[in-house]
């Protein structure tokens, strides 16, 4: 839903379907890369997963908080 609203606003702003989608693709890629790298670093450093780290991970509000790394 949010991505759709942002896409619509970007299309209105840039007036081009391609240029409007570039920021969404870049942000989505960076977000996913950051999540994977954070998980790898935490695993390599043997950092314990607690509520503060699990709360950062994306999850559905209908699902319980994961007990394993989110990525």
For the chain, first and last CA: distance in Å? 22
- Which of 67, 7, 3, 69 is CA-nearest to residue 42? 69
pLDDT score of 19:
85
Is 59 among the domain residues? no
Do the domain assignments include residue 10?
A: yes
Which residue stretches of the chain have pLDDT < 50? 59-65
Q: Which structural domain, as residue segments, surrounds residue 21?
A: 2-54
Tell me if 66 is assigned to some domain: no
**29 located within any domain:** yes
Distance of CA 55 to the CA centre of its chain: 13
The whole-number pLDDT of residue 29 equals: 92
The structural domain count of the chain equals 1
**Does residue 49 belong to any structural domain of this protein?**
yes
Residue 35 lies in a domain: yes
The pTM (predicted TM-score) of the whole model is 0.57
Burial 14-42 (b: 16+ CB within 10 A, else e): eeeeeebeeeeeeeeeeeeeebeebbeee
Q: Is there a domain that residue 65 lies in?
A: no
Domain assignment present for 26: yes
């Amino acid at each position: 839903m949010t991505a759709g609203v942002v896409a619509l606003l970007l299309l209105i702003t840039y007036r081009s379907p391609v240029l409007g989608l570039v920021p969404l693709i870049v942000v989505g890629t960076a977000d996913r890369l950051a999540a994977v790298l954070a998980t790898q670093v935490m695993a390599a450093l043997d950092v314990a997963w607690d509520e503060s780290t699990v709360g950062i991970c994306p999850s559905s509000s209908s699902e319980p908080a994961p007990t394993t790394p989110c990525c």
